[in-house]
Structure 1
Amino acid sequence: MNVLLNPSRSAFRNGMFRVFIGGSTLYRTGDWMDFVAINWIALQAGGSGTFLGLVNLCRLLPIFLVSLPAGTLADRYDRRMLLIYAQAGSLVLTLGLSLWMAMDGPLWLFLALIAARSVFSAMETPVTHALLPNLVREQERGSAIAWNSAVLNLSRIIGPAVAGVMLTTMAPSIILWINAASTLAMILVVTAVKPLPSAEEPGRAAIVQDSGQHGAREAWRYIRSESAVQSLLLLAVAPMVFGFPYTSMLPLFTQELLGFGTDKLGQLLSVTGAGSLLCSLWLSLGREARWPGRWLVLSLLGFGVSLCGFMAAPAFGWAAAAMFAAGLFGQAYRTMSRIAMQQQVPDRLRGRIMSIALMDRGFIPLGALLIGLVADMAGVLTAGLLMGTGCVAITVGVLAWRRELWRM
């Protein structure tokens, strides 16, 4: 699993990309502040792990419904304008959530607003992944993906820490107003950036003439013909169902297993983000990884072991160290998986294939709901250990079935 360094591959040398990343940093920080506020309010309002899982089901389930149509649109229309429309819709509904919190509205309306906003968020993600390679040169694409991941993780350090402190003294609605302001700033940034003219393949323009249904069939045909793409999609099941729901369920684990409140919750999320950021920055330096399949498998095994270590933590320091490791290994998997997938697909299919790949996030709320139910019926510790052991067991099972992953 050698890694080669090539400075000419660094996307950060591109001025337009730096503008985009700068705006994205502010936007994602507000988004993570929002994430902490929403989950904490859900736990306090619903009073159970099941309701917390239900909130995250509403937050992420639209991915299954919207991701592929959004990817098809990204292959047919202006990706930059689509991103602006999606973020504008999210902005309006964030304001609606802040008003709901200020007015102490009914829980059903809270769930409805979360689900409606998630539709726009589900549109935004595949469009962003399709647009990102168009902002840089071909040899910089891997670095661009890693820089984008670095921004997500830097914001995961700053956002939860700030939100955790604010929640001790301020109303959660204030945090959502801040998120709305950061979303507006990102809309202005996306309006200013322009894709590179050479980034568009001539064949992509012809897709505008196709129907969305035909475009989806073409994407599925491509997946059926590519064994490597199939293996990457199958491998995603383990972490999405049993691993990554840990961020949604962390308020429950922090409160029930460690006995801490919002300040420690914010610190744990920030420590997790620090591990993820370290990994993303390392990969963003233009490093070219050999044997990506081995990186993916080993990072998932480390991820599962780290989660088990957190659940068994006797003190906060141990828990923080385990969360740092979980962030490091989890991000190694996520970034390498996205890079590997981007390298497998042509630009004319990029929006659709990436939207299918990004649908794996839709398993997260199902996993959160499952873990929440187990926590209510069998105990929080049992539910937490199920996350780590499930991640390891399914990864080993997929590797035994698709051995080409190790040779990828």
Structure 2
Amino acid sequence: MDESTGTAAPPAADGEAGAAPGAGRGAAAAPRAGNGARSLLAEPAFRRLWTVGAVVFVVRWIEMIAIGVFVYRQTGSAFLVAMMTMLRLLPLGLLGAVIGAAAERVERRAALLAVVLGGLAVSAAMALLAHAGQLAVWHVALGSFLNGIGWAADNPVRRLMIGEAVGPERMGTAMSLDVGANNASRIFGPTLGGALYAAAGIEGAFALGALLHLVALGAALRVGPARAAGAPAAAAAGVLGRMAEGVAAVRQDRRLTGILAVTVIFNLFGWPFTSMIPVIGQDRLGLGPDGIGLLASVDGVGAFGGAVALALWARPRHYRACYVGGVTLYLATLIAFALAPQVWLAAAALLLTGLAQAGFATMQATLVFLAAPPEMRSRVLGLLSVCIGTGPLGFVALGLLAEAVGASAATAAMGLAGLAALAATRRWWGRI
């Protein structure tokens, strides 16, 4: 979203939290040279936080594709392939709210460094095990779960730091750039993951992941220290008490309830289909590892293009349409991908899923940041991570269904169920 017009977010409904709250402590001192994407990238604080995210995004996609191919070749089980991505998402549901509440008492730069160092350690350990010929499926399962802890911290730590650095009026543009980096990583990450697996096995994929984490570490070390915005309030309540306050804030604001409801639907019925791309690519379309990587990257091409379009043209009045419409289109086009009889049709469907996901992903954190009271942002962003963390239930369901009826039929069925769930919850997301 390009906020260069200075347009404020829509006013809140009676009794609800303000939709465009004032900047938090971290944002108060942020420079305001300009609101466009170019001016944001010129600011060191935002650029370094953006770089950390961009690098971690690339590593995530490299490893997810490589792990999917590795596990399917080792076991022949579509269910276990789905479980690898499920394990990466599981910490969001288990720990997202805890991390969101605890982050208010932690110096966030230290938390960011801990996340990057943890990812570096996991990638390096997996690379060493693969080099020694000892890497097993349970190793990559454990590594996926540990990396998921870092993923759970992204919204309440790094993205909150971005919001505090740029302020609410530029949060839309900042998230467009951040999601754009994520989407660009979906172009290069799967391609690199598939190519590295074909050329050097899974060892090469993890080795590159470790090297890229070093780049992220260098950027994180240059981020200035920032005191938690909610530190005074944090001293007055424990983690469980702050979590309860965050839940109460969501229940009292129908817009926040609707945002989180749509997030749950996307992660239960939509996102799990990505775990079936290696299976459908190999079994239905007859592709090898490098072909699977290229096919998966098409989704990133569409998503990157969508993020660029949002940064240039989206305005606050478009936010709900981008968010809910993005999920609707995503669910419809994943059905088309699952049933596509030819590679080019599958690629066209993935291009559209990427375009649709850009609208959803960009608006997700933006809408939460704008709607939540400043003192509640970390907690509500932690609850957003919990909603994202419902994805493991979808991965389990899709994996079991794929074992029973095949990956293509199972994926199409999940898309149809998601569309039905979206229609059934209009009473909540209609208030966004």
Q: Does TM-score exceed 0.5, indicating one fold? A: yes
SS in 1 for 2:315: strand
Query: What residue in structure 1 maps to residue 276 of structure 2?
Result: 249
Asked whether 1:297 is paired with 2:324, we answer yes
Deviation at 1:244, TM superposition (A): 0.7
Rounded to whole Å, the distance in 1 between the matches of 2:273 and 2:413 is 11
Deviation (angstroms), 1:295: 3.1
**Alignment of structure 1 residues 3-402 onto 2, 5 Å:** 6=5, 8-14=34-40, 15-16=43-44, 17-102=46-131, 103-194=133-224, 204-285=231-312, 287-399=314-426, 401-402=427-428
Counterpart CA distance in 2 for 1:105 and 1:25 is 27
For residue 83 of structure 1, what is the amino acid of its counterpart? L
Residue 319 of structure 1: how far off its partner (Å): 0.9
Q: CA deviation at 1:388?
A: 1.9
Shift of 1:36: 1.3
Question: Does the 8 A contact of 1:249 with 1:368 survive in 2?
Answer: no
Q: Distance in 1 between matches of 2:137 and 2:4?
A: 51
Change (3 A) 1:123 1:337: closer
Gapped runs of 5+ residues in structure 2?
Answer: 7-33
Counterpart CA distance in 1 for 2:249 and 2:349 is: 39
Are the counterparts in 2 of residues 276 and 328 from structure 1 also a CA contact under 8 Å?
Answer: yes
Give the superposition deviation at 1:353.
Answer: 0.5
Partner of 2:9: none
Report the CA distance shift for 1:286/1:192 in structure 2 as closer, same or farther (over 3 A). Answer: farther
**Aligned AA for 1:406?**
G
Which residue does the alignment assign to 1:406? Answer: 430
CA separation of 1:9/1:3 partners in 2, compared to 1, >3 Å: closer, same or farther?
Answer: closer
Q: Classify 1:85/1:271 alpha carbon distance in 2 versus 1 (closer, same or farther; 3 Å).
A: same
- Taking the aligned partners of 2:213 and 2:345, their CA distance within structure 1 comes to 35
Structure 1 or 2: more helix by fraction: 1
Deviations 1:63-92 (A, max 9, x none): 122211211122222112101112212211
Q: 1:230 Cα shift?
A: 0.9
SS where residue 290 of structure 1 aligns?
helix
Q: 2-side partners of 1:311 and 1:219: how far apart? A: 38
The change in CA–CA distance for 1:101 and 1:138 in structure 2 (over 3 A counts) is: same
Secondary structure at 1:258's aligned position in 2?
Answer: coil
Give the superposition deviation at 1:39. 1.5
Q: Aligned equivalents of 1:339 and 1:70: distance in 2?
A: 19
Task: Report if aligned partners of 2:2, 2:311 keep a CA contact under 8 Å in 1.
Answer: no
Q: CA deviation at 1:3?
A: 9.2
Q: Which stretch of structure 1 is more off in the superposition, 71-80 or 116-125?
A: 116-125
Measure, in 1, the Cα distance between the counterparts of 2:103 and 2:303. 28
Change in Cα spacing, 1:269 to 1:194, as seen in structure 2 (3 Å) is: same
SS in 2 for 1:314: coil
State the alpha-carbon separation in 1 of the partners of residues 178 and 327 from structure 2.
21
Identical residues among aligned pairs (%): 24
2:36 maps to a residue whose letter is: S
CA displacement, residues 349-406 of structure 1 (integer Å, 9 cap, x when unaligned)? 111110101222222222122112111111222102112212211111111x43xx33
Deviation at 1:407, TM superposition (A): 5.1
SS in 2 for 1:43: helix
Deviation at 1:6, TM superposition (A): 2.6
Preserved contact between residue 5 and residue 286 of structure 1 (Cα < 8 Å): no
- Cα deviation digits, residues 223-256 of structure 1 (max 9, x gap): 1211111111112222111111122221111112
Q: Does the residue aligned with 1:171 lie in a helix, a strand or coil?
A: helix
| Alpha-carbon distance in 2 for matches of 1:19, 1:83 | 12
1:282-338 Cα offsets, whole Å, 9 max, x none, are: 222474231533333322221111111112212211111100001111221121222
Asked if structure 1 preserves the Cα contact closer than 8 Å seen for 2:84 and 2:144, the reply is yes
**RMSD of aligned alpha carbons:** 2.3
One-letter code aligned to 1:70: I
SS at match of 2:340: coil
> Is this contact kept in 2: 1:299–1:333, CA < 8 A?
yes
Deviation at 1:113, TM superposition (A): 3.2
Following superposition, the deviation at residue 274 of structure 1 comes to 0.9
User: What code does the residue aligned with 2:35 have?
Assistant: R
| Secondary structure of 2:284's aligned partner | helix
